[in-house]
Amino acid sequence: MKPGSSILMLLPVLAVLAPGAALAQNDDFASVEIVPHHVRGSVYYLEGRGGNIGVSLGDSGVVLVDSQFAPLTDRIAAAVASLSDADIRFVINTHVHGDHVGGNANLAALGVSVVAHDNVRLRLTQSGSEAAARPILTYPDTATIQLDDEVIDVIKVPPAHTDGDSYIYFRNSDVLHLGDVFRTTGYGFIDTNNGGSAAGTIEALQLAIDMAGPDTIIVPGHGVLSDASDVQEFVDVIIDVQGRVSDLIDQGMTLEQVLAAAPTADLDERWGDPERFLTGLYNSIAGGM
């Protein structure tokens, strides 16, 4: 099989990704293992490729948060089956990116209801994704799923990573899934092509810190389990670099000049390649978003 052939199946969802979005586009998915991690109570997350999948287990049904990539659906379903005999009933998308919604259509074919913010459906529709991949249950602000012993709050946040970001809070387990507004694998990513915003990112991260209690476990879109202090460190870096980039924009610098000035040189050892982060920040600040 040619390396590109699995990509054809993903084209509809990849089309919504901003240029430079971190995706191993040419990799074969054959080697990907779906690894379940217990978080607390009835909540797990699945690590595979793409965004961390939240899992809430109930006697009468399982709720997932995000669906990674289409070629992984069988393995994701098998991982869920290793944890519970119950059927998957809902998948909630934290946002529109292909590494979070890629399995939607496959799950829908299994009878799973796809739930997401209005803007996720709008952007999937505008980008020409297949109808089966689109959420059939959408909300403008919040939704709550009350299934068995868990209450799951789905909360739209200000435009941050994209304009369709939701946080998912598992009330009884005290676990908060932040999608890609928060990650532990590197700098943040403000996808201005999908309505993301620097100011909104800072506002949304502050909301996460305010929502979290002392024991709340935070699941990032990418990376490892965290707490509110990790989110605080992450937002502090964004605020710091936002100031640096604003100064350079005030000096009249173009994006290319800002990147060449390496304004995050002292931070890159900790946070990695800054190009995508700086590009999003620049576009957001320069665009008044």
Task: Give the interface with Zn ion as residue ranges (CB under 5 A).
Answer: 97, 180
Q: What are the backbone dihedrals phi and psi of residue 45, each rounded to the nearest 5 degrees, phi first?
A: -135, 150
Work out how close the CB of 50 gets to Zn ion at its nearest, in angstroms, rounded to a whole number. 9
Half-sphere exposure of 98 (CA within 13 A, CB side): 24
Nearer to Zn ion, 97 or 123 (CB): 97
User: Please, is 151 exposed, middle or buried when counting C-beta atoms within 10 Å of its C-beta (0-12, 13-18, 19+)?
Assistant: middle
Distances (CA, A) of 151 to 83, 137, 169: 19, 17, 8
244/247 Cα distance (integer angstroms): 5
Nearer to Zn ion, 166 or 173 (CB): 166
Work out how close the CB of 76 gets to Zn ion at its nearest, in angstroms, rounded to a whole number. 18
Nearer to Zn ion, 134 or 161 (CB): 161
Work out how close the CB of 258 gets to Zn ion at its nearest, in angstroms, rounded to a whole number. 23
Work out how close the CB of 234 gets to Zn ion at its nearest, in angstroms, rounded to a whole number. 15
Work out how close the CB of 161 gets to Zn ion at its nearest, in angstroms, rounded to a whole number. 6
Which among 24, 132, 32, 25 has a CA at the least distance from the CA of 75? 32
Residue with tokens 């519970």: 84
Nearer to Zn ion, 66 or 150 (CB): 66
The DSSP element (H or E) to which 55 belongs, if any, is strand 53-57
Nearer to Zn ion, 47 or 180 (CB): 180
The amino acid that residue 17 corresponds to is L
